[in-house]
Amino acid sequence: MKRSASLLGAVAAAAMLASSPAFAEKITIGLSSEPTAMDPHFHNLGPNNAMARHIYDNLINQDEKQRLTPGLAVSWKPVNDLTWEFKLRQGVTFHDGTAFNADDVVCSFERAPNVPNSPSSFGTYTKGKTVEKVDDFTVHFKTEAPYPLMANDISTIPIVSDSVGCSASTEDFNSGKASVGTGPYKFSEYKPGESVVMVRNDGYWGDKPAWTEVDFRPIKSGPSRVAALLAGDVDLIAGVPTTDIATLRANDGIQLSQGASNRVIYLHMDQFREDSPFVKANGGGAIKNPLLDQRVRKAISMAINRDAIVDRVMEGVAIPAGQLLPEGFFGVSPNLDVVAYDPKGAKAMLAEAGYGDGFELTIHGPNDRYINDAKIAEAIGQMLTRIGIKTAVETMPRSVYFSRASKGGADGQPEFSFILVGWGAGSGEASSPLKSLIHTHDKAKGFGSSNRGRHSDPAIDAKIEEALRTVDDAKRQNLLAEATEMAMESVAIIPTHFQVNTWAAKKGLRYVARTDEYTLATGVVKE
């Protein structure tokens, strides 16, 4: 057990430009999307994971390019084919003064995949691994087969306290009762929909944060975020609306930071039910689910004009996608191109599949999670309607959407038939989306944890699993690329584009753009 211890108001802009940059020790940050809970293990979702980085440390950290650096572990290495040894950092204390040791690591990895009612658990990173305490500052992670991506997976799991956090409920974290970590900031206040306030941990073991207090404010509306920045109500905003980027760039009182992310925006399709709830025959009658047919899925992909989405919906601030990760990431295939826009070919393929007269479909998506998410869903709905698939569009707040999309249907199955969603590779390489989105859903093994379309192909599963146990980097890269090619050929999902993210700060501040899209107070630099 533990030892003790797009509103660019001229007036607001002018007022901001007239004042010289003077910064208090407090910083206020406007977020485009807030976390769904303060429990760091509740939901494997970008806003949650980013917020957790302030209060909690991981054994291994990721820098702005997702390169691995020491965190609560000072070193890690395989000691045999089935065992990795992690040496833990000594002299670290939790915010309540309790000393950090191996007990916290063991219980954190036991808790992470098993939080009740999790919309998307961390099981994709923890399953298949057992952790054993060797001594207070040494742990062993063991697997049934060689597992070269151990460090990448371990870098995704926040470490909570054995004394307080591991037996706590999500409600305990939300109230602050259990929100005790070793990170650079301490929990102060959480008001869902209003703010998350943190104060500096002056006893932090690493680099001391620049800010004594951080106030994160969720501001769903893009124009409202811009207005808040220009009015001086916030010092930095995430998710700058694409329509405002050019105007903000010309404003001498604003500093923009921009960078491509590893987040793919994609479509999941119901591939497990013959009677799919939001797929109907023309006129609204029953129909055998057309999405089970690979030709129909391919026709849908051909009907999507990705260049138009990038140019018109995203204002040019995005990259068309033909696979799961953009160029430059480990496991990307050099053989895959973006699917060409071909509405005539799409109609012909629908006819070949027996749906020449089309059918009716509803696309569901969030309206406050991804850049222009509702607009993208509307655009895709129009594109599909043009080829004869009469498509309705329904979007909703992400706080409602993810739970329904994951388990809102009968017997806890995914509720929707056709959804817009995004995935950022938390581990920084292709095994993350492959085993989470493409592999057959298998809760016990941690595969397919976010496979809301329930695509299943034993051959692709086998290729993914082979890659995960292949130690040689070059061979593993090729296997991941091959698995990606197989997934794209079977149209397991339909990627549309990769996000390019933009932050804006008042003059004198700069944000270090991150490929994981996280907005971190520790990434705000004074200039």
Per-residue pLDDT of the chain (527 residues; tens, 9 = 90+): 444 333 333 333 333 333 333 445 999 999 998 999 999 999 998 899 999 999 999 999 999 988 899 999 999 999 999 999 999 999 999 999 999 999 999 999 999 999 999 988 898 889 889 999 999 999 999 998 899 889 999 999 999 999 999 999 999 999 999 999 999 999 999 999 999 999 999 999 999 999 999 999 999 899 999 999 999 999 999 999 999 999 999 999 999 999 888 899 999 999 999 999 999 999 999 999 999 999 999 999 999 999 999 999 999 999 999 999 998 889 999 999 999 999 999 999 999 999 999 999 999 999 988 999 999 999 999 999 999 999 999 999 988 999 999 999 988 999 999 999 999 887 788 999 999 999 999 988 889 989 999 999 999 999 999 999 898 889 999 999 999 999 999 999 999 999 999 999 999 999 999 988 899 999 999 98
Q: What is the pLDDT of residue 24?
A: 58
Return the SS3 of 196: strand
Do residues 319 and 310 lie in contact, with contact meaning Cβ atoms separated by under 8 Å? Answer: yes
Burial class from Cβ neighbours inside 10 Å (0-12, 13-18, 19+) for residue 52 reads buried
Percent of the chain that is helix, strand, coil (3-state, to 5): 30, 25, 45
Q: What is the pLDDT of residue 120?
A: 83
457-479 exposure pattern, b = at least 16 Cβ within 10 A, e = fewer: beebbebbbbbbbbeeeeebbeb
Do residues 490 and 296 lie in contact, with contact meaning Cβ atoms separated by under 8 Å? Answer: no
Question: What gap in Å lies between CA 184 and CA 210, rounded to an integer?
Answer: 10
Q: What is the pLDDT of residue 6?
A: 37
Question: What gap in Å lies between CA 160 and CA 170, rounded to an integer?
Answer: 12
- Output the DSSP codes for 115-140: -TT-SS-THHHHTTEEEEEEETTEEE
CA distances from 189 to 35, 40, 62, 175, 177 (A): 14, 15, 26, 8, 11
Q: What is the pLDDT of residue 5?
A: 39
CA distances from 170 to 47, 179, 257, 497 (A): 16, 10, 34, 33
Q: What is the pLDDT of residue 497?
A: 97
Largest CA distance in the chain: 70
Domains of the chain, each with CATH number or no CATH: 10-253+507-526 (3.40.190.10), 260-500 (3.10.105.10)
Return the SS3 of 195: strand
Do residues 48 and 122 lie in contact, with contact meaning Cβ atoms separated by under 8 Å? Answer: no
Q: What is the pLDDT of residue 496?
A: 98
CA distances from 500 to 238, 259, 263 (A): 12, 6, 9
User: pTM of the full predicted structure?
Assistant: 0.77
